[in-house]
Amino acid sequence: MSEAKVPVSSQAAPTQRERKPRVQPLRIAIFGFGTVGSSVARILVESKPAGLELTHVFNRGVERKRVDWAPESVVWSEDAEAVLASDVDVIVELAGGLDPAGEWVRRALEAGKSVITANKKLIAFHGVELERLAAAKGGHLKYGAAVAGGIPVIPAIEQGLAGDRIQRIEGILNGTCNFILSKMEEGAEYATVLDQAQQRGYAEADPTEDVGGFDARSKLAILMRLALRVAVDPEEIVPQPITTISAVDFSYARDLSCTIRQVARAEKSGGEVSATVGPMLVDLRSPLAWSRGTENMVILSGHYGGDVVFSGHGAGGQPTAVAVVSDLLALAHGSQRVEIPSTPGRVGGEFEVPHYIRFLVDDRPGIVAAITGALAKEEINIRAIVQKPGYPQHALPFVVTVEPCKSSALKRALASIHTMDCMREEPLDLQMLE
C-alpha cells in the first residue's frame, strides 16, 4: 500500500505551541462608568486578570464618577475623541443606546481597535454591519454580555452548539419583568413591585423598554441571528407589554396549573420565521416557570441535540460584568473571530398555540353565546370557560381558553368581540406554552 502524501506549503502556519503569547497586556478603556462599568473596573482591579490593564475611563461629568480604589495610572476623561485616539487596544462600551454609543463603536472599529459591548439594542439593529467592519479592519467585536447578563448563552451558541441546527428559542430575557411578575405571582400589585424594582436599580425611571418588551425584543433578535441563522429587523417583532396583567390573571393561571412570565420566543419552520415577545401562560412543570426574581433562562431546541437550558442571573452589574471580562480574557488569549453565517429574513410566520383570553364584562344573558359564535366563525375551538365567584356583575372577569389556533384568526375574532357593548375593556389575549 502506498503512503498518502500530504502537501505542505512552503510557509506552514505556526502550531499552537509555536504561537507566541502577547507580551503587553491589552490596554482597556471603559466608556460608561455606571453600574456595569464600575463592576467591570472592580473585577479588573481586584482580580487582576492576566493580560488585561484598565487604562482609561470615559464618562460625562467624570469627576463625580472617580473612585479611590482605581489605580492612579487610570486616565479619567470627558473627552471621547481623546480616548478613541489614544493607544488603547479595546473599547468597552457600556453606555447603551444607539447614539452616541454607535458612533464610538464605529470609530473604534475603523481605527482597528476591538470592542466589547453589552449594548443589545446596538447589536440587534446594527450587529451585522459592525461585525463586517471589525473583520475588515482587523479588530474584534464581542457582545457576550448583550443577552442574559452573566449567562454564557452567546459563547455557547457560537462554539458549544455550532454543530447543531437550532430550530426554536424560548426564553426569559428581561430580569426586570421577571422580578415584577414573580412578585405579582406571590400577591403583590404591579405598581408596588415596579417601585421596588426602581429602588433596587432593576428598572429605570422610565421602565418602558423593560415592561413594554422592547429590551427582550432586541435580545431575541440577536439570538435569532446567531441560533436560527436568520437576521431580522427587530421592529418586525411586535412586543406585548406586561402592564395589562393583573392579580386576577394570576388567580386564573393557578386554576389552570400555570403561572405568567414574559417570554421571548422564535421559531424557524418550513422556511417561515415566527417571533414574539410578551406575557404568556407557562405550565408550572416548565423550566420557565421556575425562573424567579431577576433570573434569566434560555431554552434552545436543536434538531440533533434536543433542548438545552441556560439559567442564571440576567440582571445586575456584577453578572453582566463577568460576561464583559470573559470577553476581554478571550481577546487577551488570542480568541479567533467566530463567523456565523446568517441570511436576511422577515418575521411572517405564526405560532399555532392555545390561548388564554380574559374578558371583563357588564354581565347579562347571551354573552358566552356571542363570544362562542365569534370564535366559531374563525374555526377556533373552545377548550374551557372559567369564571370565579365574588366579582361585581358590572365588572365581571372570566376566562376562555381555546385550542391551538393561528394568532391572526384569533385577532379577527377578538376585534369583533370587542365591539360588543357589554365589554368593559379590550380582551386580554395571552399565548399558552404547553
Q: Is the pLDDT of residue 372 over 80?
A: yes
Q: What share of the chain is helix, strand, coil (3-state, %, to 5)?
A: 40, 25, 35
177 touches 263 (CB < 8 A): no
Average the pLDDT over 380-394 and give the result: 94
- Clarify whether residues 307 and 215 are in a common domain: yes
Beta-carbon count within 10 A of 350 CB: 16
Of 120-124, 145-149, 218-222, the one with minimum mean pLDDT is: 145-149
Q: Look at 106 and 23; give whichever has higher pLDDT.
A: 106
Q: What percent of the chain has pLDDT over 90?
A: 85
DSSP annotation of 394: G
Residue 21, pLDDT score: 52
Q: Is the pLDDT of residue 11 over 50?
A: no
Q: Is the pLDDT of residue 365 over 70?
A: yes
- Clarify whether residues 308 and 224 are in a common domain: yes
Question: Does residue 94 sit within a domain?
Answer: yes
What CATH number does the domain containing 306 carry?
3.30.360.10
Sort 329 into a burial class: Cβ within 10 Å, 0-12 / 13-18 / 19+.
middle
Extract the C-alpha cell encoding 229.
Answer: 441563522
- Clarify whether residues 177 and 273 are in a common domain: yes
Rounded to the nearest 10 degrees, what angle do helices 407-418 and 367-377 cross at?
140
77 touches 58 (CB < 8 A): yes
Q: Is the pLDDT of residue 337 over 80?
A: no
Of the pLDDT bands very low, low, confident and very high (cuts 50, 70, 90), residue 79 is very high
Average the pLDDT over 276-298 and give the result: 95
Extract the C-alpha cell encoding 185.
Answer: 405571582
Residue 316, pLDDT score: 75
354 touches 434 (CB < 8 A): yes
Q: Is the pLDDT of residue 381 over 70?
A: yes
Average the pLDDT over 397-415 and give the result: 96
Average the pLDDT over 4-8 and give the result: 41
Question: Which is catalytic among the residues 113, 120, 142, 219?
Answer: 219
Domain count, the chain: 3
Question: Does residue 8 sit within a domain?
Answer: no
Average the pLDDT over 76-89 and give the result: 97
Extract the C-alpha cell encoding 70.
Answer: 482605581
Question: Does residue 333 sit within a domain?
Answer: no
Sort 345 into a burial class: Cβ within 10 Å, 0-12 / 13-18 / 19+.
buried
Average the pLDDT over 90-110 and give the result: 97
Residue 22, pLDDT score: 55
Q: What is the pLDDT of residues 240-254, one digit of tens each?
A: 999 999 999 999 999
- Clarify whether residues 133 and 167 are in a common domain: no
| Domain finish residue from 90, 114, 142 | 142
- Clarify whether residues 203 and 285 are in a common domain: yes
| Nearest Cα to Cα of residue 149 among 330, 315, 326, 325 | 315
Residue 13, pLDDT score: 43
Q: What is the pLDDT of residues 138-182, one digit of tens each?
A: 999 999 999 998 899 999 999 889 899 999 999 999 999 999 999
Q: Is the pLDDT of residue 15 over 50?
A: no
Of the pLDDT bands very low, low, confident and very high (cuts 50, 70, 90), residue 204 is confident
Q: What is the pLDDT of residues 35-66, one digit of tens each?
A: 999 999 999 999 999 999 999 999 999 999 99
- Clarify whether residues 309 and 188 are in a common domain: yes
- Clarify whether residues 198 and 302 are in a common domain: yes
| Neighbouring residues of 25: CB distance < 8 A, sequence distance ≥ 6 | 50, 51, 52, 53, 332
Q: What is the domain range of residue 413?
A: 352-433
What CATH number does the domain containing 57 carry?
3.40.50.720
- Clarify whether residues 308 and 283 are in a common domain: yes
Total-model pTM: 0.91
Q: What percent of the chain has pLDDT over 70?
A: 94
Question: Does residue 272 sit within a domain?
Answer: yes
Of the pLDDT bands very low, low, confident and very high (cuts 50, 70, 90), residue 18 is very low
337 touches 351 (CB < 8 A): no
- Clarify whether residues 370 and 307 are in a common domain: no
| Domain finish residue from 95, 114, 142 | 142
Average the pLDDT over 332-357 and give the result: 90
| Domain finish residue from 74, 107, 142 | 142
Average the pLDDT over 73-85 and give the result: 97
Of the pLDDT bands very low, low, confident and very high (cuts 50, 70, 90), residue 427 is very high
Question: Does residue 395 sit within a domain?
Answer: yes
Q: Is the pLDDT of residue 70 over 80?
A: yes
Q: Look at 10 and 272; give whichever has higher pLDDT.
A: 272
Question: Does residue 322 sit within a domain?
Answer: no
Q: Is the pLDDT of residue 356 over 70?
A: yes
- Clarify whether residues 232 and 300 are in a common domain: yes
Q: Is the pLDDT of residue 341 over 90?
A: no
Backbone angles phi, psi at 426, to 5 degrees: -65, 135
- Clarify whether residues 217 and 281 are in a common domain: yes
Residue 34, pLDDT score: 94
Of the pLDDT bands very low, low, confident and very high (cuts 50, 70, 90), residue 2 is very low
Question: Does residue 328 sit within a domain?
Answer: no
Average the pLDDT over 377-389 and give the result: 95
Of 30-44, 208-222, 326-340, the one with minimum mean pLDDT is: 326-340
What's the CA gap between 431 and 401, in Å, rounded? Answer: 10
- What is the average pLDDT score of the chain? 92
- Clarify whether residues 172 and 291 are in a common domain: yes
What's the CA gap between 368 and 391, in Å, rounded? Answer: 17
Residue 349, pLDDT score: 86
56 touches 32 (CB < 8 A): no
Q: What is the DSSP string of 293-347?
A: TTEEEEEEEETTTEEEEEEEE-SSHHHHHHHHHHHHHHHHTTPPP-----EE--B
Question: Does residue 11 sit within a domain?
Answer: no
Is 219 one of the annotated active-site residues of the chain? yes
The Cα-based distances of 418 to 33, 43, 54, 399, 411 in angstroms read 48, 54, 58, 15, 10
